[in-house]
Amino acid sequence: MTFQLSEILESISFVSLDHFDIRTVTLGLSLRDCSATTPRGLANCVYDRIMTAGSRLIPTVEEISARYNVPVANKRVAITPVSFLCDGSQEHTPLLLAKAIDRAAHELGVDFIGGFSGLLQRDITRGEMHLLNSLPEVLSQTKRLCSSFNVATSREGLNFDAIKILAQQIHEIALKTADEDAIGCAKLVVFANAVEDNPFMAGAFHGISQGDECISVGISGPGVVRQVMESLPADLPLHKIAEEIKKTSFKMTRVGELFLQECSKAMGYPPGIIDISLAPTPVPGDSVGDVLKLIGLEQVGTHGTTAALALLNDAIKKGGMMATSHVGGMSGAFIPVSEDAAMIESAKNGSLTFDKLESLTCVCSVGLDMVAIPGDTPVSTIAGILADECALGMVNHKTTGVRIIPVPGKVAGDMAYFGGLLGEAPIMEVHRESCEQLFRRGGFIPTPIQGFRN
């Protein structure tokens, strides 16, 4: 046999025992060729473009998944930020576009479609304002459409006025989807240094410098890393643990590379990127928090958690880097609270606090993700949370994001239930001291000195 039995068994146990999957195959799609003289015409044009380009996505991915016996959890589409279509538009254009895009996603059978987005790091155009105003209607009336806004970059600074509007809209979206524990907010991310090739939701969009189409792959597999960690001796030094995680990440990324090449060839679209991420699911054993605990923590959130996460995040990236030439997206360990059993447990028992979570986001792949907070949190406090996280990203040349859910009628200690991959989250307490005056000031935070590298 070309392969040793142990190699075959290792590959098989990746999938059948340790929950390894290709988390997403995402079709990136440019809408820059869509134009029409009326909003209705534009919506039809966008719908046709998505339906035509995406028609073979699901059957192609399913066929390749069967050939290699590796499940693909999600099939998604990422489109050009819709804000570019809204300039020169009328006030009701974004809602028309949103419904057309959501209908296309439903008819194609994709799980999510991302790109109801705008790049607001410097200022806001009239079209972008229409888009922002439409958010509560759009996210409460659509199912699969995801939205994201970039409000800060290390080169441009931080647009606090945009943060003020988004904080208000997050509050409105929560009220509009109150009967589903504010699930509308789970489809909106606020970014600093957003990447243009992210295949993961809710922050995916097809960057403006991208071509007409491309295929990107996001891998996952916290369960595989956990299995490797469980087999290691308890006294193994940290640098050797990093080595083992690197090897595992390499193998997982190679499978991602295989899927990227095969899907790209079959669809006839160029390969985009592979996002080498550890993305957890609520399934027992498929948890990044479990991996952190196996590195040597009693609970996620205790002292040492940031160091353990830094090790994990770095080793994942290093292992994947050699496995493909197409590394991109976020690439690292995701720590969404509601989607990770160990994170939920730690937040419930109080060992993982909001402040500790914020410090973890300095070394993880994205930021405050799927964090449920009390429904009576003032808009100014939501803005403060967004601004803090984006400031971390801006100053440290890092992508950071916030997906925060103020759940109406719920208080710290209650649970919010979202279902499916989004899981459930304990409501985390936030500071009750006000940042109202900061909020009222508005304006922007100028480009940090770190941004001037010329």
Partner 1 sequence: MCGLRQWLTSTLRPMRKVYLTVIGRNDIGIIANITQTLLAYRISIHDITQKIVENNFVLFMVLECQKDLNVANLQKHLEQSTRQFSLKYMLAEEELFNSMHRI
- Asked if 1 is part of the footprint of partner 1 (rule: CB under 8 A), the reply reads yes
Q: How many binding residues for partner 1 (CB under 8 A)?
A: 22
Query: Using the rule CB under 8 A, which residue among 119, 255, 344, 385 binds partner 1?
Result: 255
- Asked if 438 is part of the footprint of partner 1 (rule: CB under 8 A), the reply reads no
Report the nearest approach of partner 1 to the CB of residue 323 (Å): 9
CA distance 389 to 401: 7
- Asked if 5 is part of the footprint of partner 1 (rule: CB under 8 A), the reply reads yes
The 3-class SS string of 242-278 reads: HHHHHHHHHHHHHHHHHHHHHHHHHHCCCEEEEEEEE
Vertex 110, ends 104 and 116: CA angle to 5°? 60
Strand 368-374 relative to strand 157-159, pairing? unpaired
Nearest Cα neighbor of 225 from 260, 199, 251, 205 is: 251
Count CA atoms closer than 13 A to 317's CA, side-chain side: 16
CA distance 393 to 402: 11
Query: Using the rule CB under 8 A, which residue among 171, 187, 246, 251 binds partner 1?
Result: 251
- Asked if 7 is part of the footprint of partner 1 (rule: CB under 8 A), the reply reads yes
Query: Using the rule CB under 8 A, which residue among 16, 35, 52, 90 binds partner 1?
Result: 16
Contact in structure between 116 and 93 (CB atoms under 8 Å): no
Instruction: Compare residues 19 and 293 and give the one whose CB is closer to partner 1.
Output: 19
Region from 68-76, 275-283, 303-311, 343-351 binding partner 1, contact rule CB under 8 A: 68-76
Give the CA radius of gyration of the chain.
21
Region from 60-68, 122-130, 139-147, 380-388 binding partner 1, contact rule CB under 8 A: 60-68
Query: What is the contact mask toward partner 1 in residues 85 to 124, using x (rule: CB under 8 A)?
Result: ----------------------------------------
CB neighbours of residue 298 within 10 Å = 10
Contact in structure between 279 and 334 (CB atoms under 8 Å): yes
- Asked if 66 is part of the footprint of partner 1 (rule: CB under 8 A), the reply reads yes
CA distance 168 to 96: 22
Report the nearest approach of partner 1 to the CB of residue 24 (Å): 18
Instruction: Compare residues 14 and 444 and give the one whose CB is closer to partner 1.
Output: 14
- Asked if 449 is part of the footprint of partner 1 (rule: CB under 8 A), the reply reads no
CA distance 191 to 198: 12
- Asked if 68 is part of the footprint of partner 1 (rule: CB under 8 A), the reply reads yes
- Asked if 258 is part of the footprint of partner 1 (rule: CB under 8 A), the reply reads yes
Query: Using the rule CB under 8 A, which residue among 156, 181, 197, 257 binds partner 1?
Result: 257
Query: Using the rule CB under 8 A, which residue among 36, 40, 41, 67 binds partner 1?
Result: 67
Q: In the complex, which residues of this chain contact partner 1 (CB under 8 A)?
A: 1-3, 5, 7-12, 15-16, 66-70, 251, 254-255, 257-258
